[in-house]
Structure 1
Amino acid sequence: MEKVLFISYFAPPEEHIGALRVSKFLKYLPQYGYQPYILAGGHISSNTPFVFRPRYLDPYLIGKEIYKNLYSKKNDQVYYDLEKIYTKYNMPKGLFPLSEVRMPDKFLAWILPAVILGMKLLNKEKFDLIYSSSGPPSSAIVASILQRYSGLPWIAEFRDLWSDNHHDLRKTIIHNIDNWIERQTLKNCNALVTVSEPLKETLERKYSKPVYVIYNGYDEEDYPQDVPLTNKFTITYTGKIYIGRQDITPLFKAVKSLYMRGLITQDLFQIRFWGDDGNYIKTLAKKHDIEKFVFYGGRIFYMDSLLKQKESWMLLLIGWKGHLAEGVLTGKLFDYLGAQRPILYIGEIGGEAQRILEDTGMGKFLSKYEDIENFLINCIDKYLKSDRMLGFIGPNENLIKYSRRYNAKILSRIFDYFT
């Protein structure tokens, strides 16, 4: 069994999307001859096999916890000024706030303790390869230092781009410094991995190194079986909505039109949101006068979110705004594919997510509210006729290549080339 030193700040048992990705590599790579040893961060105590965390005090995490306990107030009656929110979220930032995907990295305090523990692991075990998963960028920085220390081949994965990140925009001088740090860090890596073809193309233009795509995926073993569908025609969204970057207005406009035309009732139709940003959802629902059709359930555990997906008639995917969104493939898309329920994808640009939905036959991309309205009318008609898949083809062999097991197999072949 070959040994791989995986460097990822996020790791099991966390429910962060980065930790979930790493946990599935930990689960499936041994089936293809590679045992990951995960060097992780954070103030987490766990006995997860093959996961190693240094003991250290992180000022950011301590400050975050103090703020949460003393100042964080939740008031479900507060409604946001949406225009101010959109302006705020779309303005390039300076040095602050700290970031999870680029510099200045929230988790810089992890670097030195991680390097020290990484050196101990390298001295104790005979590793064949180093693999890092970012963000945060500190994962790549730790890997770069340990590669120089060990001389091992290093493959750097970016779930999100570093200085070219679509979500965290920074002012020009900060961006240029960040870009320089990124290039210096990656000088000694042998190859790059990312999660979509457009992001791969961005990295290929920037670096003269091999770049591979390993999608996020779904794990068929995570989903409950024989789950009955809800009585109502239920559209479900699970996870965080990035205010100012994702826009659900076209859907709400379509629902309002259906309501005004008398085509839906509370007993028939519901949109459910499970995750953060309840006040934002309520603000938009109130603005469109469709509060009676919108349910907000708050944050739930990952496995519970899969159950909510399985019992829904339709799942909602919201695209990112702007041209930078073309390469964004959220983990949510693959969770939805694993739930094997029809997917409504709304946004400005279909991009690769649209291609995957067309490849699997599991969903539809729409951008105009009029088209969404007509689509919902058609789906509700099929719901009333008890068509469980609402006219979509349902589970098929094309889904397999988006599974976690299949992705681990592809990654193992990349490892074969460099070991």
Structure 2
Amino acid sequence: MKGKRLLVVSWSLPPLLGPRSIQVGRTLKQLAANGWDCTVLSVDTDSLPANYAKDNFLAEHYLQNYQVIRVPAPPWLQLLNLVRRILPQFAPMPDNQTIWVKPVLAKVEALLFTNTYDAVLTFGHPWSDHLIGLEIKRKWQIPWVAHFSDPWADNPYYFRLSNFQKAQMETFERSVIEAADMVVFTNSETADLVFKKYPAEWKTKAQVVPHGYDRNLLGYLKKNDFREGVLRIIHTGNLYGLRTPQGILEALRLLKEEGKLNEGLDIVFLGRTKNREDYIEFCKRHGIEVVKFMPTLPYLESLQIAASADVLLLIDAPAASSSVFLPSKLVDYMMFGKPILGLTPNDGVVALLLDEFGFPHSDPQDEKRIAEMLLGIWDKHNSRGFDFSQKFDSVAERFDIEYTTGTFETLLGAVIAG
């Protein structure tokens, strides 16, 4: 397997239940299937506090054909998590996983004493994974690919960080980008945002590999029949911070007041919703009986519920300017071949992609537009007017994990070849 040995660092990996963990596990499984020999350093999930969600199915499905070395997290991680919630200005940078850097580097040194690798691959978030890659690059000069996904120092949602902490983020990011041989993003808009503050010649390091969906998961799911007079809209995943259901609930309130709220609607929010009781009370106060909040479920169960949807709902945070975030949830939704309703900034990556599909979208806070979209979707659904299959397939195939990993391994090969 000459030229295809990877040393990978990713805190996030199954059985951890989260978007980054799933995407990393999915990519590594496909790389291994394509002949790459991957050794992965990841956190020992048994060392984590109990509030870290885990799912054994994810481990069974994605931890295949590559070696995983588990490095325990130091026992004071939970204390740092508490500090970050209560006194964020005193939290370590770039994240609490910075306490994991030294134990991993000690493991790396032991591995490199008896093994050679053609390249190092680090996955952030957490960003501390890239600090590990930076030290490996400085000490051993192995070709290094840093996978960013989202923006780092340019993230507009760092509301609670001090100016000093933001400056630290900028310093860390610059050091990583300067040293890395390649920096991978999930869309070109994020790459442009990050690299606009650096020398133009650095931009050659930026490459794009989208998130990927795993169509093999469909084999675990039951098919659902069309239901006359019922329109089921489902949102999967957690809602917190600026990502809230308030916009669509306000739209339902408008429809209720205008006598246009059809009781055949069935809107489900699956996952943890911050201030959930407040939203339930809002629905009761306005006589909205078509909304249901469900807790986080095991991964396969959540997929089965998503598969039962007539329309899948995506909710993003509002943005004052163009949004560069491409949530992996949107890509996962593609697997189901269902219409997608997007509550997302009108100027952004998600809106552009939904336009390619021909799916409706609205600013998350535009309740009138959201109400109009709900009425339009109801009419199309009951007339069976969702005819999008040809356009859908041509766009969605770019996000199949086999296709995206094929792009990724070509880039890895180029880095190794120098």
Mark yes or no: TM-score above 0.5: yes
1:274 shift after superposition: 0.7
Q: 2:69 aligns with which of 45, 48, 52?
A: 52
Whether 1:145 aligns to 2:140 is no
CA distance 1:278–1:180, shift in 2 (3 Å): closer
CA distance 1:123–1:360, shift in 2 (3 Å): farther
Q: 2:248 aligns with which of 243, 248, 251?
A: 251
Whether 1:228 aligns to 2:228 is no
1:177 shift after superposition: 2.5
Residue in 2 aligned with 1:95?
89
Distance in 2 (CA, whole Å) between partners of 1:251 and 1:391 is: 24
Residue in 1 aligned with 2:339?
342
Q: 1:163 aligns with which of 150, 153, 156?
A: 153
Instruction: Between 146-155 and 321-330, report the one with greater CA deviation.
Output: 321-330
Instruction: Between 290-299 and 403-412, report the one with greater CA deviation.
Output: 290-299
Instruction: Between 376-385 and 195-204, report the one with greater CA deviation.
Output: 376-385
CA distance 1:278–1:142, shift in 2 (3 Å): closer
8 Å CA contact 2:122, 2:133 repeated in 1:
yes
8 Å CA contact 2:310, 2:338 repeated in 1:
yes
8 Å CA contact 2:184, 2:206 repeated in 1:
yes
Distance in 1 (CA, whole Å) between partners of 2:224 and 2:347 is: 30
Return the letter of the residue paired with 1:52. Answer: I
Matches within 5 A, 1:367-386: 367=363, 368-385=366-383
CA distance 1:347–1:397, shift in 2 (3 Å): closer
8 Å CA contact 2:5, 2:119 repeated in 1:
yes
Distance in 1 (CA, whole Å) between partners of 2:246 and 2:236 is: 17
Instruction: Between 297-306 and 161-170, report the one with greater CA deviation.
Output: 161-170
Whether 1:127 aligns to 2:117 is yes
1:145 shift after superposition: 1.1
CA distance 1:55–1:286, shift in 2 (3 Å): closer
Count residues with an aligned counterpart: 384
Residue in 2 aligned with 1:85?
none
Q: What CA deviation, in whole Å up to 9, does each residue of 1:345-369 have, x standing for no partner?
A: 11333411122122234x2112333
Whether 1:352 aligns to 2:343 is no
Q: Secondary structure, in 3 states, of the residue corresponding to 2:147? A: strand
RMSD, aligned CA? 2.6
Distance in 2 (CA, whole Å) between partners of 1:34 and 1:409 is: 12
Whether 1:296 aligns to 2:293 is yes
1:265 shift after superposition: 4.2
Q: 1:24 aligns with which of 7, 19, 26?
A: 26
Q: Which sections of structure 2, spanning at least 5 residues, go unmatched?
A: 48-58
Residue in 1 aligned with 2:7?
5
8 Å CA contact 2:357, 2:388 repeated in 1:
no
Whether 1:136 aligns to 2:126 is yes
Return the letter of the residue paired with 1:241. Answer: L
Distance in 2 (CA, whole Å) between partners of 1:324 and 1:94 is: 25
1:181 shift after superposition: 2.7
Whether 1:365 aligns to 2:334 is no
Residue in 2 aligned with 1:411?
408
Residue in 1 aligned with 2:236?
238
Q: Secondary structure, in 3 states, of the residue corresponding to 1:107? A: helix
8 Å CA contact 1:236, 1:309 repeated in 2:
yes
CA distance 1:130–1:373, shift in 2 (3 Å): same
Return the letter of the residue paired with 2:269. Answer: F
Whether 1:211 aligns to 2:206 is yes
Residue in 2 aligned with 1:84?
none
1:398 shift after superposition: 2.1
Q: Secondary structure, in 3 states, of the residue corresponding to 1:292? A: coil
Q: Secondary structure, in 3 states, of the residue corresponding to 1:339? A: coil
8 Å CA contact 2:94, 2:168 repeated in 1:
no
1:42 shift after superposition: 4.2
Q: What CA deviation, in whole Å up to 9, does each residue of 1:298-346 have, x standing for no partner?
A: 1112222222121111111112212456101111111111121111111
1:262 shift after superposition: 3.1
Distance in 1 (CA, whole Å) between partners of 2:186 and 2:375 is: 34
Q: What CA deviation, in whole Å up to 9, does each residue of 1:152-188 have, x standing for no partner?
A: 1101111222222232232322211221233234432
Per the normalisation by structure 2, the TM-score is: 0.84
Distance in 2 (CA, whole Å) between partners of 1:135 and 1:110 is: 13
1:30 shift after superposition: 2.8
Distance in 2 (CA, whole Å) between partners of 1:148 and 1:35 is: 23
Q: What CA deviation, in whole Å up to 9, does each residue of 1:35-87 have, x standing for no partner?
A: 222111243388945111124533114776xx8xxxxxxxxxxxxxxxxxxxx
Q: How many percent of aligned residue pairs carry the same amino acid?
A: 21
Distance in 2 (CA, whole Å) between partners of 1:198 and 1:56 is: 34
Q: 2:302 aligns with which of 298, 305, 309?
A: 305
Matches within 5 A, 1:50-89: 50-61=67-78
